[in-house]
Structure 1
């Protein structure tokens, strides 16, 4: 049964927003304070301009309307609006409240999307009383902490796999083409009849290393069809390592961006081992030295250069190979659980924030999940 909705207020009655401050990259000096831009944390600085806990809102560009929570002091860039005063409201609740607002209708720019604080402060939104805000924040915090803990488990497991196949532990090397083949089968999304596909894209990797589950009709260009376990290695800007150890889910077609190379292990080599050796610094530095392209943001390495590059030979190891598989499973399980937790959070919070869902009902669901 739905609950009576919270009364509505204007955004300007909930928070006081202020434009962030300019800080060129050349003027930054490494320090303890995060530098927060429209897409989130973009670096660190020795000086702060805002006290935490705080919330920023992407003011311009493709991340317009993106909310970022800052638990401590920070420097909000001029590409953001930040909350200067919460006006007595709970900061973590405000963060999730802002995430429920679709700011695209409030774009005040022309060629470049932009938010005007004087324009958006009139947005009418349901606002819970202070006590309910605290309970909603606690629910969201419990889910977010569990998600963060699972991600730490996954990343620690991956770091251990990298350490297992370090060149410091073996001097035996081989060309990458001796360990895998390059899969090139492509498909037009319009030809896929399944209602949902797993889309392995660069943005999805950068976000949380899990694919997006979307209708194939929302994907515009041809993609690689990946129907077996493989390693996806980005050929775009290899100095930013994007290497995905992926296994397709039964019954859900897996489509990968053509910015990835699809590396299918040869017999006797696992994806975990292949992932471990392609994550090594020496290999990644060799790819970076072979890039082509004049634009810094769109440098690519040619597939032939990748396949003929030298890597540590995982077949030279013994016990490490079984350990790599176990660690890989641990990382996969943690991220699979995070997918469910994220879906639960993103389903519950809009209903809680609007007042549609009773808090005690949501508390029971969160308790069962975490």
Structure 2
């Protein structure tokens, strides 16, 4: 460890203050971010703190969480905010505070609460400003790369969903042909696959000749997972409800199952499988699709797996089901805290069944976008893992900057 690192307390590193009240009636239209316990929470027309700034969740479930604002902001009374960095790098302070278990300094009882005076005594080791800036440069580069990949993926997903909506919700190619126009964005061969009229169905007007079926009729597999026998290492990946959020899979929250204690024959996931959270208020109905799978994986008993049969493509079924997440969230049954989504409810969900030739042409256009989405997601998760591994070691001085830079370059 560098001899230039000095011992101090958190109170000698930064100064904190409780945020300021701002009721809904007092909030005014503007572009100043309001920073609260859980991070950005709306905007206002006035700032009380200069950016770059750092806030720490002061109360509630988000107590101890650390957030960064590059802009001037209004610090809400649900947070503590840094009023003076005492010559230290604001971004370094943000990274350092994330490595501390601030929530454990709870001074409340039923409602978690942080008191700055309790935090000030936390012992720290702090490098020189020059080294702080070097650490920030490395970690910020990783953060920026992750953010760019996620922004790119948001665009790719929006394009895929827009094309799905055009073909299978708004039926733009059919409407164009009805009006004597050539459908936009497709060649003549693809355009010929679409009819030029509609007919009534259980889902309302649909293109003539297209069918309506149920999920149960068009899936080869529709089942919950198992109750795993957990182990620390080896075995197979077990995806749980925490892994499924924002239509994506986060395998960093997965655990591992020992197949020697409980067999998984026939339960292994395949590329294209659709995963649906199936228990609990607030989690039930969340959907993600397996776009890539490098290692054997299963789901636990709180997640339902859907797998299309040969009448549909997994790309079409996945995008179709994701569009209906809100509907599926409302299909849970049971009392509060015991809500369940049954296989039977999912099985009777009505689906539009276009001709397979239409679906194959749709896949030709959209699958490359989703393959790129998957590659970006994998890279972003790798970079996040690297960042989260480097962060505490860099901040504590256990890892020197040149070694960390070499690890970052290996993933470039």
Matches within 5 A, 1:1-370: 3-4=2-3, 6-24=5-23, 28=27, 31-166=30-165, 167-169=169-171, 171-172=206-207, 174-177=212-215, 178-180=217-219, 183-190=222-229, 194=234, 197-202=237-242, 205=245, 209-216=249-256, 227-229=269-271, 230-234=273-277, 242-247=286-291, 249-256=293-300, 258=302, 260-280=303-323, 283-284=324-325, 286-287=327-328, 304-313=344-353, 315=356, 316-370=358-412
Gaps spanning 5+ residues in structure 1: where?
Answer: 218-223
Relative to the length of structure 1, the TM-score reads 0.82
8 Å CA contact 1:238–1:301 kept in 2: the answer is: no
**What SS does the corresponding residue of 1:115 show, helix, strand or coil?**
coil
CA deviation profile, 1:23-42 (whole Å, cap 9, x unmatched):
45576566423333323334
Closer, same or farther: CA 174–89 of 1 in aligned 2, 3 Å: farther
The Cα of 1:44 is off from its aligned counterpart by 3.7
Closer, same or farther: CA 46–237 of 1 in aligned 2, 3 Å: farther
8 Å CA contact 1:33–1:75 kept in 2: the answer is: yes
In angstroms, what is the RMSD of aligned CA positions?
Answer: 3.5
Instruction: Specify the alignment match of 2:180 in structure 1.
Output: none
Relative to the length of structure 2, the TM-score reads 0.75
Closer, same or farther: CA 55–191 of 1 in aligned 2, 3 Å: closer
Distance in 2 separating the partners of 1:290 and 1:340: 35
Distance in 2 separating the partners of 1:189 and 1:55: 41
8 Å CA contact 1:196–1:214 kept in 2: the answer is: no
Distance in 2 separating the partners of 1:291 and 1:28: 36
Closer, same or farther: CA 168–68 of 1 in aligned 2, 3 Å: same
8 Å CA contact 1:198–1:213 kept in 2: the answer is: no
Distance in 1 separating the partners of 2:268 and 2:149: 26
Distance in 2 separating the partners of 1:50 and 1:143: 27
Q: Which moved more, 1:235-244 or 1:179-188?
A: 235-244
Distance in 2 separating the partners of 1:207 and 1:37: 26
8 Å CA contact 1:165–1:312 kept in 2: the answer is: no
Closer, same or farther: CA 136–245 of 1 in aligned 2, 3 Å: same
Distance in 1 separating the partners of 2:28 and 2:238: 40
8 Å CA contact 1:241–1:279 kept in 2: the answer is: no
8 Å CA contact 1:4–1:356 kept in 2: the answer is: no
Instruction: Specify the alignment match of 2:177 in structure 1.
Output: none
8 Å CA contact 2:243–2:250 kept in 1: the answer is: no
The Cα of 1:64 is off from its aligned counterpart by 2.3
Distance in 1 separating the partners of 2:248 and 2:39: 14
Closer, same or farther: CA 321–62 of 1 in aligned 2, 3 Å: same
**What SS does the corresponding residue of 1:125 show, helix, strand or coil?**
strand
Gaps spanning 5+ residues in structure 2: where?
Answer: 173-205, 258-263
* Equivalences, count: 360
8 Å CA contact 2:225–2:305 kept in 1: the answer is: no
The Cα of 1:7 is off from its aligned counterpart by 1.6
Higher helix proportion, which one? 1
8 Å CA contact 1:37–1:78 kept in 2: the answer is: yes
The Cα of 1:187 is off from its aligned counterpart by 1.9
